[in-house]
Chain A
Amino acid sequence: MTEEREVSSASFYQFLAEKKLMASRCQKCQALYLPPHPICTKCYGNDMEWVEMKGNGKLAAFTSVAVGPSCTLEEGYDRNNPYLVGIVELDEGPKVSGRIRGLDPKKPENIKIGTPLTVEFLEQVEGKRCFLAFKAE
């Protein structure tokens, strides 16, 4: 065990705040889970360990959100100032959702699936909670 923390979403977000992107791995069959799962859904083992992802991947799907939820209005986004969010396939294999930065949300038609991305750890405006983001080089 690299870490003794319980495999839970709370631990995942604690790690994010520490700037670590952590997945869970089944010690029996080595299946990798991100978001971290407490039970292996391939072999049904529940002996999971934490494993840190390098944070490199490529864009698998995305959208430029013009009509956002309340929390992104608070961040300053709106119909004239959209943001990007997407699904990133990590080099280690798992896919995960995250905010996408370093690409132009106003020109989504120019964004290519497969664009290389690196993990970022964003703070919410007022909250203490950190959320997952990826940045294009």
Chain B
Amino acid sequence: MSRRAPKLGRGVALVGAGMSKFGAFADKSSRDLFVEAFNAMTESVDKGIDTKDIEALYVGNFSSDLFEGQGHVAPIMADWVGLVPKPATRIEDACAASGVAIREGVIAIASGLYDIVLVSGVEKMTNLPTERVTDTLAAASDAIYEASCGFTFPGLYAAMATAYMAKYGASVEHFMKVGIKNHNNGALNPKAQFNKSIKDLMGSRIEKAKQKGELVPDWREELDFLKDPKANPVVAWPMRLFDCSPITDGAACLLLVAEDLAKDFCNDPIYIVGTGQGSDHAMHEREDLTSILAARTAAREAYEMAGVKPEDIQIAEVHDCFTIAELVAIEDLGFFRPGEAYKATNPSIPQGVSNPRGILWEPQEQGRRWKYGARCGAKQVRGRSQVKTSTSP
């Protein structure tokens, strides 16, 4: 059977976006975070949205079951913003849960079933002690054949990192530089968990030591700080604390509508022109331990649907759960040849800030702020020519 080129049945547009503050909030449950993101989303819609017009909810959530003892989260989220009895579906696809929720919303509208869909991602992780968060995250690995012998989720990415280092000659410093760049980007977003660059963090620790009359650490630059095992302890070597995304509570909501309705909600909607999704084997069954087949498959589908090539992309936000994940992602997305991404860690690669992931946006004209980022209160990093010119897979 020959494969048909992927395409959407009709156009879909993004007309609203909002996110909660990200962080550790002892007094907030996943539904509170969801409501916060929902309110921010409704405020972002230029011409307003009447909740009664929303026809369905897709919510990405990895594991409220284990994090909060709450399964079946979708109808609860729907109820808390007044969507009951509309269909509410939870998507569980590990780190890709919210990205896939967006895609399911896109598919639902493109199919003609709905015109107006709310999509969301929500996770409440900080109730549990670290070892139980580790257990919960390891549930996204193969429990029978990976977690059983002691693999953790950071450990799996760390193993990819050792394979990457051996194959291509990357060092731990390359990973650290990815973290420095991402924390710089996070500092631009008032809703980010730490909202601080490594340099500022380092400065405030030195200041604190001085005030307390303690031994002042001898850190001259960020890499000194990141190489200090006291400041940046190993989680799963070679991934250290600042190579890993933190344990976080947060939520985000997007409003998707059929293309022909988009101008009823805002004057400059963002049109979704491509989406892709894939799957992969457990790590040990992958032919190549330095690349993710699911990402390559998803990218190919999205590019094909949108009619673009990797070199056409001006800005990308990639999954950076661990610093190695970003290097692998920008290779799998075709921005760099295999084994080349780490060499680009000096001129920093532009990236957005902690939002739901997995959709290609319509290329924006030069200099225009990415609306979604702006609406979330973040400053948008500008696309740089390196991404466009240094890649020709």
Contacts and interface: CB of A to CB of B under 8 A. Distances in A.
A95 B286 CA distance: 8
B238 A85 contact: no
A132 B142 CA distance: 14
A122 to B, nearest CB: 8
A98 B142 CA distance: 12
B368 to A, nearest CB: 42
A96 interface: yes
Given A60-B289, A63-B159, A99-B150, A9 B233 contact: no
Interface string A75-108: 0000100110111000000111111000000001
Given A63-B158, A95-B284, A97-B283, A69 B144 contact: no
Interface centre among B135, B144, B149, B285 (most CB of A within 10 A): B149
Contacts of A66: 233-237
Contacts of B235: 66-67
Interface residues of A, number: 36
Given A9-B144, A63-B162, A87-B283, A68 B152 contact: yes
Interface string B128-156: 00111011001000101111111110111
B234 A64 contact: yes
Contacts of B142: 35, 97
Contacts of B162: 61-63, 86, 113
B160 interface: yes
Interface string B157-171: 011111100100000
Interface string B284-305: 1110010000000000000000
Interface in A50-66: 60-66
Nearest to A74: B131
B236 A69 contact: no
Contacts of A61: 159-160, 162-163, 283, 289
Contacts of B146: 97
Does more than half of chain B's interface fall in helix, strand or loop, or is it mixed?
helix
A9 B147 CA distance: 14
Given A62-B162, A69-B134, A85-B150, A9 B145 contact: yes
A69 B131 contact: yes
A41 to B, nearest CB: 9
A125 B130 CA distance: 21
A85 B146 CA distance: 9
B145 A35 contact: yes
Contacts of B152: 65, 67-69
Contacts of A9: 144-145
Nearest to A9: B144
Contacts of A67: 130-131, 134, 152, 154, 235-236
* 5 residue pairs, one from A and one from B, having the closest CB atoms: A63-B158, A113-B166, A61-B159, A61-B163, A64-B237
12 contacts: A35-B142, A62-B159, A63-B151, A63-B156, A65-B155, A66-B234, A69-B138, A96-B284, A98-B149, A99-B150, A113-B162, A131-B149
Interface of B: 130-132, 134-135, 138, 142, 144-152, 154-156, 158-163, 166, 233-239, 282-286, 289
Interface of A: 9, 35, 60-73, 79, 82-83, 85-87, 94-99, 108-109, 112-114, 131-133
